[in-house]
Amino acid sequence: MIKRRHSRQRDLIYDYVSATKLHPTAEMIYQDLKEVSPGLSRGTVYRNLNQMVEEGRISRLPFQVERYDGNTHPHPHLVCESCGQVSDLCLDYDDGLDRRISQELGCQIRWHESYFYGRCAACAATAAAEG
């Protein structure tokens, strides 16, 4: 793990992200924290978030870049961490999961999305060949 300098703003950002279940954007974090820490800049927020992801302290969720899919039926995807390709997986959609979660939480889920992360067949083969 990379050792970073301790800073009040860094701790503030980490505490904010750790305390919420809302999966905030960097802009949301900046807007909420600038009132508490007027000297905080967007650059500081982005830089510290990136560093915390590199350190494994927080996770970055892949919702910033829009992609389009001609298949409008619910289905899972594989996201290749090597080449960035997103491909459909030929797996059955589990709508029973929606019902079970709805009953357990008392909410109404209409559908869900599943993303699997790893290497596509081409990148896995290349990695295996490289040894």
Q: What is the pLDDT of residues 91-119, one digit of tens each?
A: 888 888 999 999 999 999 988 888 999 99
At 79 the three-state DSSP class reads strand
Phi, psi (rounded to 5 degrees) for 119: -120, 140
Q: CB within 8 A of 76, min separation 6: which ones?
A: 88, 89, 91, 93, 113, 114, 115, 116
Residue 47, burial from CB neighbour count under 10 angstroms (0-12, 13-18, 19+): middle
Q: What is the pLDDT of residue 5?
A: 67
Q: What is the pLDDT of residues 60-83, one digit of tens each?
A: 876 656 677 888 788 899 989 998
Q: What is the pLDDT of residue 16?
A: 94
Residue 62 is given by DSSP the state: S
Residue 65 is given by DSSP the state: S
